[in-house]
């Protein structure tokens, strides 16, 4: 006769699969074993002062993912916002997932670019650094610098942005060792990145959406889309909230940006 399983065994949680979005915890397991929040605050087009306030408000509202970039010119403000939140005691550094990006003009000296971002952010390590654009002449060397920084403890995860062709993605993959944890591309209901998402799945790489609410003049078009508006009305939500929820259910990390405290809170209530 087979022994009965203990209650503890029967109730043990199933292990998370790489790339699987957990909407209850609001996290996804990356291919390097690190958990990443799936909804965050983006800092594109924010001044340093705006970025400081937006990051502070976002962390106070419960966000734990922050996305910036060297070329945004606001890493210093992001760092101040993080420090304010830590100083006030409602979040610890370990609870925050900080992403920044290396700009193309820095690819020839990746180690210096990494150290400079760390200094501007005022951090000992960065949770995720991304190459901002494909640049075949020197992006492999820049990516290898990020790989070394993971080994050195300066970065925890590395990824890519604006690689839109499977062949371009594979070009870099074949020349490097660590698989990108994620790729950040323009993705929204009118540009769903289906081909790239299917391709990167074999590497355990997840999709992150920049301009998750449309961007490039498409935001109001998306907000006024009949299907999106109808869903919003049926659930007592805004179009923005419906679009962000679509991203999470579709398996896209979303990083809407805002310098408006009320909008930042609204975007998190999905």
Where helices occur in 96-218 by DSSP H, the ranges are 110-121, 139-151, 166-174, 194-200
CA dist 104 and 89 (Å) reads 36
CA dist 217 and 201 (Å) reads 30
Q: Record the tokens describing residue 29, joined without a space.
A: 């397991």
Q: Record the tokens describing residue 118, joined without a space.
A: 């760390």
Q: Catalytic annotation on 63?
A: no
Work out whether the CA dihedral 88, 92, 97, 102 comes out positive or negative. positive
> How long, in residues, is the chain?
270
Beta-strand ranges (E) seen in 73-204 are 97-102, 126-131, 155-161, 182-186
159, 176 Cβ separation under 8 angstroms:
no
Query: Regarding beta strands 27-29 and 21-22, do their DSSP bridges make them parallel or antiparallel, or are they unpaired?
Result: antiparallel
Query: Regarding beta strands 35-37 and 27-29, do their DSSP bridges make them parallel or antiparallel, or are they unpaired?
Result: antiparallel
Q: Which of 56, 63, 72, 107 is catalytic?
A: 72
**Catalytic amino acids?**
72
């Amino acid at each position: 006769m087979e022994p009965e399983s203990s209650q503890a065994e029967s109730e043990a949680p199933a292990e998370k699969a790489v790339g699987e979005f957990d909407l209850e915890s609001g996290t996804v397991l990356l291919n390097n074993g690190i958990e990443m929040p799936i909804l965050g605050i983006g800092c594109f087009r924010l001044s340093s002062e705006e970025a400081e306030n937006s990051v502070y408000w976002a962390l106070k509202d419960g966000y734990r993912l922050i996305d910036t970039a060297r070329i945004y010119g606001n890493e210093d403000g992001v760092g101040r916002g993080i420090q304010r939140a830590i100083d006030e005691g409602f979040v610890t550094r370990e609870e925050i997932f900080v992403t920044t990006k290396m700009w193309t003009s820095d690819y020839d000296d990746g180690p210096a670019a990494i150290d400079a971002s760390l200094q501007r952010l005022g951090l000992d390590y960065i949770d995720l650094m991304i190459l901002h654009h494909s640049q075949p002449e020197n992006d492999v060397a820049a990516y290898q610098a990020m790989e070394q920084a993971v080994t050195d403890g300066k970065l925890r995860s590395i990824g890519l942005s604006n690689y839109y062709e499977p062949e371009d993605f594979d070009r870099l993959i074949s020349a490097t060792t660590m698989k990108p944890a994620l790729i950040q591309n323009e993705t929204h209901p009118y540009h769903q990145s289906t081909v790239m998402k299917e391709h990167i799945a074999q590497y355990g790489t997840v999709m992150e959406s920049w301009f998750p609410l449309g961007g490039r003049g498409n935001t109001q078009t998306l907000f006024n889309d009949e299907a999106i508006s109808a869903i919003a009305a049926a659930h007592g939500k805004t179009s923005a909230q419906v679009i962000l929820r679509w991203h999470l259910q579709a398996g896209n990390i979303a990083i809407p940006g805002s310098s408006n405290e009320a909008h930042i809170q609204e975007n998190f209530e999905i």
